[in-house]
Amino acid sequence: MLDAVEWYNKSVEYKSNHNVVYSCKYHVVWCPKYRRKVLVNGVDIRLKKLIEEICGEYHIDIIEMEIMPDHIHLLMEVDPQFGIHKAVKLIKGRTSRVLRQEYGWLRSRLPSLWTNSYFVSTVGGAPLSVIKKYIENQKNV
C-alpha cells in the first residue's frame, strides 16, 4: 500500500522546462477599478479571448476561467521561472490597453481598467502534514 507521500507523487502531473520540474497552479482573482460591473455586453467575451491569446503566447496553461461582471477568476499553471506576478501583470496590462482601445466607454468611465491589486493562492499541493512527513523522513532514505 502507498504511503501518503508516494500517493501524492504519483497523483500529481509535473511539467518541466530546461532546469525545473514543477507543478505550480494558482487561483487568481482581480477586479475592475472601483469594482464596477463593466465586464458585460461583449467585453467579457473579448476579455476571455485576449486572456487565452496572451496565455498561449507565454505557455501559461489555463485550467479554468470565469468572467463575472465585476471580477475575474483564473485558475492557471505558470512556469516558476516566469513567475505568477509577471504573468498577472502581463495579462492585466495588455487586456486593459486593448479593451480600452476597443471599447471607448471604458476609457470615459474609468481612469484605468483594473485595480492595482489582485488575489493569488496556490492550489493542488499536498497537505502540509504530508510535506512535513516527507522532509522529516529524508535522513531515513
- Give the active site residue among 8, 22, 58, 134: 134
DSSP letters, 39-88, are S-TTHHHHHHHHHHHHHHHTTPEEEEEEEETTEEEEEEE--TTT-HHHHH
Distance CA 33, CA 111 (A): 8
**Are the C-beta atoms of residues 43 and 105 closer than 8 Å to each other?**
no
Catalytic residue check, 8: no
User: Cell triple for residue 5?
Assistant: 507521500
| Active centre residues (catalytic) | 134
